[in-house]
Amino acid sequence: MLHDVEAVVLVGGKGTRLRPLTLSAAKPMLPAAGVPFLAHLISRIRQAGVRRVVLGTSYMAETFSEHFGSGAELGCEMEYVVEDQPLGTGGGIRNVAKHLTAETVLVFNGDVLCGTDLTAVVDTHRRTEADVTLHLVRVLNPRAFGCVPTDADGRVLDFLEKTEDPPTDQINAGCYVFRRSVIDSIPEGRPVSVERETFPGLLAAGARLSGHVDNAYWRDMGTPADLVHGSADLVRGIAPSAALPGPAGEALVLEGAEIDPTAFVLGGTTVGRGVRIGPGARVEGAMLFDGAVVGEKAVVRHSVIGAGARVDDGAWVIDSVIGDRAAVGAHCELRGGMRVWPDVQLPPHGVRFSPDV
């Protein structure tokens, strides 16, 4: 158990790729499988035995403390450190330094859903006497990410940008173990990127950077497609989480939702509080935020329907995001990563494939 380790979670990003959802909530506070995404991450940290979690906040900073408070409900002590101006990932870590007391610090990007064994990552850090240890995950398509090659001893050799021909399938998973003194060496009071500045700088200076490589479940929840798939994996138990508010299964149905018995709801769908789903509707691998309405024979697949938004009778919403309180008129067809902004009302019978409205 990691009782002598503290955790820092970076939650200050604006989440621009998730707009319009992140206009009304910070990315880590968006509901995934019925609770703020961050609750899943904190429960994993807590399960590993870490008792103190410091959040580095900036965008919509107050919403974190309003929801999680002292952390008592999650069984840990939570502290919140606000950046006056966004300091980036490295600057965010530096900014919380004076609030840390442990010699070994686990640092997380606040938008990653991951099943790795945190104790094993810290063990690698200690065994290799590293300055920083990075969790590296093996992925099928490393071309979409920066790659981090390591040698036979697990020593990090390089940080490579995205390339068509990556030399390794190991990517930076957004979870690190820092020796406390390394955090103190990050420049203070200005934006710093840990990936682009701190890590390459440490490597050039001869520091020991270790990689802890595994094939754990891993997903960066930064885009609508990833958010929807990650949430469905949580609901179905593919991505295990102690914070799931119900048993794993095809659908998670929260209080007050009304689903017509002739509707199909499957594929890891979350049905939010007070949602209504009409007769013959088909809802698959979707996130229906609180108060959303899906009409008769409507189809919603791999999409987010915002709070209080409506998908009217016979409409199709595929791979799309419908903002809070927006309405998709009857028999409309939306596909191809469409994003409908909050409060927009689409008239019936429209067919749209991007751009956004």
Which residues in this chain contact ligand GTP in the complex, by CB under 6 A? 10-17, 27, 56, 58, 83, 86-89, 92, 109-111, 222
Q: Minimum CB separation from ligand GTP for residue 19, in Å? A: 8
The maximal CA–CA distance of the chain, rounded, in angstroms, is 64
C-alpha of 338 from chain center? 21
Q: Closer to ligand GTP at the Cβ: 16 or 163?
A: 16
| Torsional sign, CA 199, 203, 208, 213 | positive
Strand 104-109 versus strand 170-179 pairing type:
antiparallel
Q: Minimum CB separation from ligand GTP for residue 13, in Å? A: 2
Q: Closer to ligand GTP at the Cβ: 58 or 116?
A: 58
Q: Closer to ligand GTP at the Cβ: 60 or 254?
A: 60
Q: Closer to ligand GTP at the Cβ: 228 or 327?
A: 228
Q: Minimum CB separation from ligand GTP for residue 26, in Å? A: 7
**Of 303, 268, 275, nearest to 289 (Cα)?**
275
Q: Minimum CB separation from ligand GTP for residue 181, in Å? A: 21
Q: Closer to ligand GTP at the Cβ: 227 or 292?
A: 227
- Tokens, residue 253: 């149905």
Q: Minimum CB separation from ligand GTP for residue 63, in Å? A: 13
Q: Closer to ligand GTP at the Cβ: 33 or 61?
A: 61
Q: Closer to ligand GTP at the Cβ: 92 or 308?
A: 92
Q: Minimum CB separation from ligand GTP for residue 92, in Å? A: 3
Distance of alpha carbon 44 from alpha carbon 125, whole angstroms = 19
| CB atoms near residue 119 (< 10 Å) | 15
CA atoms lying within 13 Å on the CB side of residue 205: 12
Q: Minimum CB separation from ligand GTP for residue 315, in Å? A: 28
Query: What are the DSSP E strand ranges found in 139-230?
Result: 170-179, 209-214, 218-220
Q: Minimum CB separation from ligand GTP for residue 277, in Å? A: 30
Q: Which residue's CB comes closest to ligand GTP? A: 13
Q: Closer to ligand GTP at the Cβ: 95 or 269?
A: 95
Q: What is the 3-state secondary structure (H, E, C) of 342-354?
A: CCCEECCCCEEEC
3-state secondary structure at position 229: helix
| CB atoms near residue 299 (< 10 Å) | 20
C-alpha of 297 from chain center? 31
Distance of alpha carbon 244 from alpha carbon 41, whole angstroms = 11
Side-by-side strand order, sheet with 276-277: 258-259, 276-277, 293-294, 310-311, 327-328, 345-346
Distance of alpha carbon 217 from alpha carbon 214, whole angstroms = 9
